[in-house]
Chain A
Amino acid sequence: MKFIKPAQQNPIDQGRVVGKPTTRIDGPLKTTGTAVYSYEWKDVAPNAAYGFVVGAAVPTGRIRSFDLAAAQEAPGVLDIVTYKNAGPLGLGDFNTAPLLGGPKITHYHQAVALVIAETFEQARAAAGLVKVDYARGEGVYELSDQKDSADPTDAAPDSSQGDFQSAFERAAVKIDETYETANHAHAMMEPHATIAVWEGDELTVWSSNQMVEWGRQDIAKTLKISPDKVRLVAPYIGGGFGGKLFVRADAILAALGAKLVQRPVKVVLQRPLIFNNTVHRPSTIQRIRLGASQDGNITSVAHETWSGDLEGGGPEASTQASRPAYAGENRLMQTRLAVLNLPEGNAMRAPGDMPGSIAIEVAMDELAEKLGIDPVEFRVMNDTQVNPDDGKPFSRRKLVECLQRGASEFGWEKRPSPPASKRDGRWLVGMGVAAAIRGGPATKSAARVRLESSGKLVVETDMTDIGTGSYTILAQTAAEMLGLPLEQVEVRLGDSSFPVSAGSGGQWGATSSTSGVYAACVELREKVRMALGLNAEAELNFADGSVSDGSAERPLTDALATGPLEAEGEIDFESRGDDHSYFTFGAHFVEIGVDVHTAEIRIRRMLAVCDAGRIFNPVSARSQVIGGMTMGAGAALLEDLHVDARQGFFANHDLASYEVPVHMDIPHQECIFLDGDDPLASPMKGSGVGELGICGVSAAIGNAIYNATGIRVREHPITLDKLLDQMPEPV
């Protein structure tokens, strides 16, 4: 089904199920420990052997030799996978670094061996006996040192409009500042894990992966087998945040290991390995120049960004955040990519937009102050209903409404002025604001729906639920379309034997996959019509388990006389066209306290006001947004993979030394969604909201710290050591 915009009135508009606050239907399974995660599939492979990964001890270079004798002879050991017995491997379309290293080493903790044994403990003990002799190579690890050698990249082409240089020179008020953001780890709760089972030349992997079809294709490509021979199963995923968009070493090594020992093998990436073995959000250096007229109209915007990755990798495309953000005719957007020998950089929640939003939204705060204009007002003044990057109107842009609603709900008028003027006990108190702007992409997504004789409606699609609430919104969609109660819908996800969905990533999952189920349900409704001989011209009304064409009303189950009714459908967004710009918007407000003595920074409260058209489920949408806000708080205050440029690795590679927020860091969060539909976006008349939570929130925290202390830190995370030297003497 092609999406023809604008979406006309359709059954989703009834709003009996879609749009209602609905607790997640998979919640009881998760809270009782009965949702089965990748490492836990006991019944599919009761005889599974255990693999333990050995990571490279050097960041670059070559393996001279292995000494595997002691490990091979250790109790319980079945065999050891290395590049020497793995056979030739391909490189997945979405991988930069090979998932099994050797003889060449591409990065620290790249997998070089998988020790397989009868028990996990035996595999781990034997892994400690694997001896690898390396010839360490040369490498470069510091982005700041490689900045000048960084190149333009096709992955994020430069662009310009008007004449930035002369407009900026003429601007009455301007800023020219450089911002830095850190390397971030996804640090999802469930580590990467896979069970691999071969039956003849057919491979089934139970693997924690956000994108089932991409994963199936890349596993096949890496193993040099046909994709038809690979089945990937991932019904439950304990968080991914982009770190599980692509196939990782656990899947490939489990498959290689299972082939080698001729029995199922399970592999989990051990936590201290994950930080350097997998991928991370690359650090950035960003220069922002903004020029405005004396009365506060932005005339010139330049955003230059630098990041690094392995040879052949991609940039952290931070200019994305500035491109659609604010008016200003004269623009310059530049992305430069350096080669670094660190682990592979890749997508993490709102890639590009998130670090980019730190730079542009702090810069906006700085310029607002220079102009003497309230930062909410300054953003409102420079709002635009046309994307200044491509000249197309936004399908829906309610940024001004989000800012104004938020200011009113948050009590923005009480923001301390001037900075560093409010004290509450031991705390200096400040408030900050930032806009949240994030693309609203939609992509092809298919589903199969089946009305069974019991009256149950089964939905099958290879969509994943990475903790986002996919199960629930897909069930809501199907229930709405067929006029059934939610409990009568069973959703089955995350299996490559199901129709190919959009998968979970880039904020496209919710709108695309619900639209795919919508499309399948439209087909099923037609089959019901035919089965019951209802009026072909009339509009059907599916409600309360019955269907009516206006003259006759029949129970749905009457349509099942000849057996279950099944339909497949696919939504195709190509026809959505490129005459609009599709984005989602929000505003973040944060109140912060900074300890007057120690400069410890503590969040006091946070508010996000978001708009993405129709919100399919306010409960799960809220969870998405507050989760993003929490992760953004981590980026603002804590999270920093520290590069040790002598060793060529991220030094703090466990969860004790890479700190993410805990409950006490997030005392109070609120999330408000504006009402309204976006019929240009999808038949569901809404877009995903997940990344609005993380875009801009770190900047709002930085701006609040400035408001509290009068100290502007342009290097995130903002930790107390960066404030101490400038902290006022406590009185």
Chain B
Amino acid sequence: MRPFTYERATSPADAVSKAAGRRNVKFIAGGTNLLDLMKLEIETPTHLIDISGTGLDQIEPTEDGGLRIGALVSNTALAADPRIRRDYGVLSRALVAGASGQLRNKATTGGNLLQRTRCPYFYDTNMACNKREPNSGCAAIGGFSRQLGVVGTSNACIATHPSDMAVAMRVLDAVVETQMPDGATRSIPIAEFYELPGGAPYIETVLEPAEMITAVTLPKPIGGKHIYRKVRDRASYAFAIVSVAAVLQPDGSGRFACGGLAPQPWRVEAAEQLLPQGASAAAQRLLRDAQPTEGNRYKLKLAERTLAAVLAEARS
């Protein structure tokens, strides 16, 4: 871990102004991912701005019937909120499928969206990694890739995004609200929030320097059956090999997004149109552009069968 300086912000405006114009600065809230990465020198900020005192820990109704979730609402609090459990069950289920009780108590909504990949080559600083060290290469391609991405990847990076929560947010069409140092705010649909790796996998989101997530808003409830199905080798405390977040309507229509397959929650609206034809057609469309490795080709079939399990659960 490199030495760093630390200060506390008192409001979102204070936080972004403290960050403005500085290089190598990071916001820290729960720190459940960032601190680990700093200890391994994967993240090497020289300055931390602690935003946990900025008051963004409320869940409030929005004018159009949705919910506005403060960026600092813990994963535990969000999963347990009665409105979330009632109207956005897929989100509550995705949250409790992730991490452990201790981590969910500490992890925040904004931080969860910004988790870094769990690619083993990203985690070993002796290995080439374009995400960690721009233009250093990718040791994962041709390496141990059983957990890694099959779609949306590039010849520079095959990492996946590890979040469960973000997959549910994607299927719910959440919007990420941010604040900029100049006082401007942005509302970024989650579909546009993440960047595909392309040749620059170190750029993971559209956030600009010193821009801070202040909230995530959910549109008004859409009803339907909410399912989050997470497939993993061990029964708990493991990242998804494949996950499916789905909201399915009685008429057979619905939405779904997948985790564990791509550098971001993977949702293809055209695939959803095929849901009435069954899992096979929808999964094939979802993964039409897949470029799996020998080590993770099984994820294609697994994604299809997991979607089939979700559809079966919705029918039952």
Q: Which residues of A are interface residues toward B (Cβ below 8 A)?
A: 57, 75, 121, 124-125, 128, 272, 426, 595-600, 602, 637-638, 642, 644, 646-647, 651-654, 656-657, 659, 661-665, 719-721, 724-725, 727, 730
The residues of A that contact B102 with a CB separation of less than 8 Å are none
The residues of A that contact B237 with a CB separation of less than 8 Å are 662
Q: Which of B39, B139, B239 contacts A647 (CB 8 A)?
A: B139
Can you show 24 pairs from A to B with CB atoms below 8 A apart?
Answer: A125-B1, A125-B2, A272-B40, A596-B309, A597-B305, A598-B242, A598-B302, A598-B309, A599-B302, A599-B305, A600-B233, A642-B146, A646-B139, A646-B143, A651-B120, A651-B143, A656-B118, A657-B118, A662-B236, A664-B235, A665-B236, A720-B302, A724-B305, A725-B301
For the complex formed, measure the closest distance between the CB of B117 and the CB atoms of chain A, giving whole angstroms. 12
Contact A638 B1 (CB under 8 A): no
Q: Which residues of B, 206-249, contact A by the 8 Å Cβ criterion?
A: 231-239, 241-242
Contact B309 A662 (CB under 8 A): no
Question: For chain B, which range describes its interface: under 10, 10 to 19, 20 to 34, or 35 or more residues?
Answer: 35 or more
A-side interface mostly: loop
Q: Which of B2, B233, B309 contacts A128 (CB 8 A)?
A: B2
Select the residue from A57, A599, A656, A719 with max chain B CB neighbours within 10 A. A656
Contact A719 B233 (CB under 8 A): yes
For the complex formed, measure the closest distance between the CB of B230 and the CB atoms of chain A, giving whole angstroms. 10
Whole-angstrom CA separation of A426 from B316 in the bound complex: 11
Whole-angstrom CA separation of A608 from B298 in the bound complex: 34
Contact A721 B298 (CB under 8 A): yes
Select the residue from A426, A637, A642, A647 with max chain B CB neighbours within 10 A. A647
Whole-angstrom CA separation of A57 from B126 in the bound complex: 6
Q: Which of A75, A426, A596 contacts B3 (CB 8 A)?
A: A75
The residues of A that contact B146 with a CB separation of less than 8 Å are 642, 721
Known: A57-B126, A657-B147, A725-B301. A637 touches B3 (CB 8 A): no
Contact B306 A598 (CB under 8 A): yes
For the complex formed, measure the closest distance between the CB of A182 and the CB atoms of chain B, giving whole angstroms. 13
Whole-angstrom CA separation of A75 from B298 in the bound complex: 50
Q: Which of B41, B301, B309 contacts A426 (CB 8 A)?
A: B309
Whole-angstrom CA separation of A727 from B308 in the bound complex: 14
- What residue of chain B has the Cβ atom nearest to residue A634's Cβ? B234
Whole-angstrom CA separation of A121 from B233 in the bound complex: 35
- What residue of chain B has the Cβ atom nearest to residue A595's Cβ? B309
Interface string of B171-194 (1 = CB under 8 A from A): 000000000000000000000000
- What residue of chain A has the Cβ atom nearest to residue B242's Cβ? A598
Contact A662 B234 (CB under 8 A): yes
Known: A125-B2, A598-B306. A664 touches B231 (CB 8 A): no
| B123: interface (CB < 8 Å) | yes
Contact B309 A272 (CB under 8 A): no
Contact B235 A665 (CB under 8 A): yes
The residues of B that contact A662 with a CB separation of less than 8 Å are 234-237
Whole-angstrom CA separation of A245 from B127 in the bound complex: 31
Contact B139 A720 (CB under 8 A): no
Q: Which of A597, A657, A725 contacts B306 (CB 8 A)?
A: A597
The residues of B that contact A600 with a CB separation of less than 8 Å are 231-233
Q: Which of A57, A128, A596, A638 contacts B234 (CB 8 A)?
A: A638
| B80: interface (CB < 8 Å) | no
Contact A663 B236 (CB under 8 A): yes
For the complex formed, measure the closest distance between the CB of B295 and the CB atoms of chain A, giving whole angstroms. 9
The residues of A that contact B144 with a CB separation of less than 8 Å are 642, 644, 651-652
Q: Which residues of B are interface residues toward A (Cβ below 8 A)?
A: 1-3, 39-41, 118, 120-121, 123-124, 126-127, 139, 142-144, 146-147, 231-239, 241-242, 298, 301-302, 305-306, 308-309, 312
Contact B40 A659 (CB under 8 A): no
The residues of A that contact B298 with a CB separation of less than 8 Å are 720-721, 724-725
Contact A653 B124 (CB under 8 A): yes
Contact B1 A121 (CB under 8 A): yes
The residues of B that contact A654 with a CB separation of less than 8 Å are 120, 123
Whole-angstrom CA separation of A595 from B229 in the bound complex: 12
For the complex formed, measure the closest distance between the CB of B294 and the CB atoms of chain A, giving whole angstroms. 11
Whole-angstrom CA separation of A5 from B103 in the bound complex: 56
Contact B1 A664 (CB under 8 A): no
Contact B234 A665 (CB under 8 A): yes
7 new A-B contacts, CB < 8 A, other than A597-B305, A644-B139, A662-B237, are A121-B1, A646-B142, A647-B139, A651-B120, A651-B144, A654-B120, A665-B236
Contact A647 B309 (CB under 8 A): no
For the complex formed, measure the closest distance between the CB of A375 and the CB atoms of chain B, giving whole angstroms. 26
Contact A647 B118 (CB under 8 A): no
The residues of B that contact A651 with a CB separation of less than 8 Å are 120-121, 124, 143-144
- What residue of chain B has the Cβ atom nearest to residue A666's Cβ? B235
For the complex formed, measure the closest distance between the CB of A650 and the CB atoms of chain B, giving whole angstroms. 9
Whole-angstrom CA separation of A426 from B142 in the bound complex: 35
The residues of B that contact A124 with a CB separation of less than 8 Å are 1, 39
The residues of A that contact B121 with a CB separation of less than 8 Å are 651
Q: List 5 tightest A-B contacts by C-beta distance, closest first.
A: A597-B309, A664-B235, A721-B298, A651-B144, A57-B126
Q: Which of B120, B147, B233 contacts A720 (CB 8 A)?
A: B233
For the complex formed, measure the closest distance between the CB of A141 and the CB atoms of chain B, giving whole angstroms. 12
For the complex formed, measure the closest distance between the CB of A543 and the CB atoms of chain B, giving whole angstroms. 50
Contact B143 A644 (CB under 8 A): yes
Known: A121-B1, A662-B235. A128 touches B41 (CB 8 A): yes
- What residue of chain A has the Cβ atom nearest to residue B231's Cβ? A598
Whole-angstrom CA separation of A725 from B300 in the bound complex: 11
- What residue of chain A has the Cβ atom nearest to residue B147's Cβ? A657
For the complex formed, measure the closest distance between the CB of A646 and the CB atoms of chain B, giving whole angstroms. 7
Whole-angstrom CA separation of A725 from B118 in the bound complex: 26
For the complex formed, measure the closest distance between the CB of A719 and the CB atoms of chain B, giving whole angstroms. 6
For the complex formed, measure the closest distance between the CB of A457 and the CB atoms of chain B, giving whole angstroms. 42
The residues of B that contact A657 with a CB separation of less than 8 Å are 118, 120, 123, 147
Contact A597 B312 (CB under 8 A): yes
- What residue of chain A has the Cβ atom nearest to residue B123's Cβ? A654
Contact B143 A664 (CB under 8 A): no
Select the residue from B232, B238, B305 with max chain A CB neighbours within 10 A. B305
Whole-angstrom CA separation of A384 from B199 in the bound complex: 65
Contact A661 B124 (CB under 8 A): no
For the complex formed, measure the closest distance between the CB of A101 and the CB atoms of chain B, giving whole angstroms. 14
- What residue of chain B has the Cβ atom nearest to residue A122's Cβ? B3
For the complex formed, measure the closest distance between the CB of B307 and the CB atoms of chain A, giving whole angstroms. 9
The residues of A that contact B232 with a CB separation of less than 8 Å are 600
Whole-angstrom CA separation of A719 from B144 in the bound complex: 15
For the complex formed, measure the closest distance between the CB of B100 and the CB atoms of chain A, giving whole angstroms. 9
- What residue of chain B has the Cβ atom nearest to residue A276's Cβ? B124
Known: A125-B1, A128-B2, A724-B298. A638 touches B233 (CB 8 A): yes
The residues of B that contact A653 with a CB separation of less than 8 Å are 120, 124
Whole-angstrom CA separation of A657 from B234 in the bound complex: 11
Whole-angstrom CA separation of A720 from B139 in the bound complex: 25
Whole-angstrom CA separation of A128 from B126 in the bound complex: 11
The residues of A that contact B234 with a CB separation of less than 8 Å are 637-638, 659, 661-662, 664-665
Whole-angstrom CA separation of A38 from B312 in the bound complex: 53
For the complex formed, measure the closest distance between the CB of A675 and the CB atoms of chain B, giving whole angstroms. 35
For the complex formed, measure the closest distance between the CB of B89 and the CB atoms of chain A, giving whole angstroms. 19
Whole-angstrom CA separation of A727 from B301 in the bound complex: 11
Whole-angstrom CA separation of A664 from B235 in the bound complex: 6
The residues of B that contact A644 with a CB separation of less than 8 Å are 139, 143-144
Known: A598-B302, A647-B127. A652 touches B120 (CB 8 A): yes
For the complex formed, measure the closest distance between the CB of B240 and the CB atoms of chain A, giving whole angstroms. 11
Whole-angstrom CA separation of A128 from B38 in the bound complex: 11
Known: A647-B143, A721-B146, A724-B298. A272 touches B233 (CB 8 A): no
The residues of A that contact B143 with a CB separation of less than 8 Å are 644, 646-647, 651
Contact B301 A720 (CB under 8 A): no
- What residue of chain A has the Cβ atom nearest to residue B310's Cβ? A597
The residues of A that contact B309 with a CB separation of less than 8 Å are 426, 595-598, 730
For the complex formed, measure the closest distance between the CB of B43 and the CB atoms of chain A, giving whole angstroms. 12
- What residue of chain B has the Cβ atom nearest to residue A645's Cβ? B143
The residues of B that contact A665 with a CB separation of less than 8 Å are 234-236
For the complex formed, measure the closest distance between the CB of A245 and the CB atoms of chain B, giving whole angstroms. 27
Whole-angstrom CA separation of A653 from B121 in the bound complex: 10
